Structure 1
Amino acid sequence: MIYTVTLNPSIDYIVEVSDFNLGSLNRMTRDLKLPGGKGINVSRVLKQLGYDSTALGFLGGFTGEFIQEWLSDEEINTNFTSIKGDTRINVKLKSDQETEINASGPIITNSEANDFLTVIEQLTSKDVVILSGNQPASLPDDFYQKIILKIKALGAEFVMDTTGQTLLDSLAFHPLLVKPNHHELAEMFHVTFSSVEEMIPYGKKLIEMGASYALVSMAGDGALFFTRDNVYQSTVPKGKVKNSVGAGDSMVAGFVGTLLKENDSQLAFKTGVATGSATAFSDDLAKKSEIENLISQVTISSINN
């Protein structure tokens, strides 16, 4: 079973304003409310691809009920830990430019945190856990490490889709996959990149430090894929970008689902790129038909250096 973990989910309230003017009355042309959070996005895209998963994390209040009902309607398995606080609402303003206003999230008590860790203890060695996104400030700094230690003790595998020191610290526990974008990769190693070639040594470092696979997304420039033996680069399909939210999560879903089913890392990479692109070209997350239409447009080449 694939499990996804979203420690700080949200309702994403998407508001479209044709010509936004700061300090003035603006009237929206369209609005949309969607369940948000990186792990939740992964579960929703996995479902589109035909793969079952169970979404884990913290939910509370009327906002948490909205997310739970939405996922139930999409027939996605859930086992969320209930909290007293309200799950947050993030505002995504789409106008001439895209602006995001993200809430910090609810306070999670020690008792609620321990309840979540009890859920993790139910894993088996056949499971893969996808850990996505940042954690609420009220959780201990080492909470992700506590989760990872329990996952490894049970013989399960994990994917790490976070940033910064949290991602670097996870490498010692040998994640199946890590997925920074090129900006996050630069920040982790305190460098800047002016070319794809400059990224390659640092992507390789992720493998040397413990990851089995590493994906580095580069927006319109495609993606890099690192294995223990090789480095690959992809093209990206052509299309109009409508949505920057969830594209990276969709890439993770496409990669992990395909890898576990087909045991073919290059096919998984290709599917991941197509899935991320399909979300970028959509108002919401990618649909199966959209993904299938784009896979043939993705080409993979080996980089020898």
Structure 2
Amino acid sequence: MITTVTFNPAVDKTAQVETLVTGGLNRLQNVRQDAGGKGINVSKTLKAIGVPSRATGFLAGNAGQFIRERLTDLGIAHDFVEIRGNTRTNLKVLDAAMTLTELNEAGPACSADDIRRLEETLAAAEGILVLSGNVGPGVPEDIYRRLTETAQRRGLQVILDADGGLFREGIQAGPDVIKPNRFELSQYFGMPEETLDTDTMISLARQLMEAGTRLVVISMGEDGSLFVTADRALVLPALKIPFQSAVGAGDAMVAGLACSLEQGLDLEQTAVLAVALSAGACMTEGTQPADAVTVEDLKVRVTWEEA
């Protein structure tokens, strides 16, 4: 079973404008609201391809209830811890040039007791644990490291998708799979992003494996992605698709990684599935995942080469 953890979920409100005007009036078009947050997006993608998961984390207030109801409507199992306040709402605005502007709230504060209750909920997790996204106020930066250590002692496999201090702390526990993007990799190693060629990124990825990580996946947007193990590296170009929005593309890739771990897929199969799911997410509005038929069509178009 795959369990996804979202510490700081959101009602994702997405909209379009012809041109975003700062300091003036913008009339939004095609407005939609989705249950969001990185772990929740992973669960939504898994559901779309017929893979069950359980979503957990923190929810609060009316916005939290909206997310619960939406997940129930989607048929996604969930077991969130209720906390005080109100789950955040994030506004994502896409203009005609496909430039995305995001306005994200901080989210409600979490107490030590809230975190303890979530840890108790996670004690029932089996199989694969997905830790992704930022955390709300009050959550310590070492939380992903602690949860990874606890999960691995119990025999779970862990996927980590985080940045900043959460990433820095989390990788110390050696999660099985990590998925930084190229910018996050450059930030972690203190190197300009433009200096990161393929060989450099492969070398840096293997440095990240020193604590026990087995697979590092580096997403590079329109430049594709890298899948790196201790002895192999695959380079996959991005697919040419009718682009709608990159929102949720990284989460869809993580869903592919989780599914691959659960099903025991080899490196090539893992890369093909993850890239197809990510491309499919870019073809939909908001944080909707692509449907299973679209994903299968995309899989046959994915190419890769050894680096």
Same fold (TM over 0.5): yes
Equivalenced residues, count: 301
RMSD: 1.5
Answer whether contact 2:2 2:52 (CA < 8 A) is retained: yes
Answer whether contact 2:92 2:100 (CA < 8 A) is retained: yes
- Residue of structure 2 in register with 1:134 after alignment: 134
Q: Which moved more, 1:166-175 or 1:68-77?
A: 166-175
**Offset of residue 262 of structure 1:** 4.1
The whole-number CA distance in structure 1 between the counterparts of 2:105 and 2:220 is 26
Q: How does 1:1-305 map to 2 (within 5 A)?
A: 1-96=1-96, 97-124=99-126, 127-192=127-192, 193-194=194-195, 195-283=197-285, 284-303=288-307
Answer whether contact 2:143 2:166 (CA < 8 A) is retained: no
- SS in structure 2 at match of 1:225: strand
Answer whether contact 2:141 2:165 (CA < 8 A) is retained: no
Per-residue CA deviation, residues 203-227 of structure 1 (Å, 9 max, x unaligned), is: 2212234211010011111110011
The whole-number CA distance in structure 2 between the counterparts of 1:25 and 1:169 is 42
- Which structure has the higher relative contact order (CA within 8 Å, separation 6+)? 2
Answer whether contact 2:234 2:305 (CA < 8 A) is retained: yes
Per-residue CA deviation, residues 81-140 of structure 1 (Å, 9 max, x unaligned), is: 01121000001012243210000000112222211111112234xx21000011112112
Identity of aligned residues (%): 33
The whole-number CA distance in structure 1 between the counterparts of 2:241 and 2:265 is 29
Per-residue CA deviation, residues 132-182 of structure 1 (Å, 9 max, x unaligned), is: 011112112322233223212322121111113422332332211100011
Structure 1 segments (4+ residues) deviating >3 Å: none
Q: Which moved more, 1:176-185 or 1:160-169?
A: 160-169
- SS in structure 2 at match of 1:188: helix
The whole-number CA distance in structure 2 between the counterparts of 1:22 and 1:123 is 46
The amino acid that maps onto 1:33 is: Q
Per-residue CA deviation, residues 52-98 of structure 1 (Å, 9 max, x unaligned), is: 10001001111011111111111101010011210000010122432
**Offset of residue 252 of structure 1:** 1.0
User: Residues 170 and 144 (structure 1 numbering): CA distance in 2 closer, same or farther, change over 3 Å?
Assistant: closer
TM-score (norm 2): 0.93
Answer whether contact 1:234 1:301 (CA < 8 A) is retained: yes
- SS in structure 1 at match of 2:247: coil
Unmatched runs of 5 consecutive residues or more in structure 2: none
The whole-number CA distance in structure 1 between the counterparts of 2:28 and 2:123 is 46
The whole-number CA distance in structure 2 between the counterparts of 1:24 and 1:186 is 35
Unmatched runs of 5 consecutive residues or more in structure 1: none
The amino acid that maps onto 2:158 is: F
TM-score (norm 1): 0.94
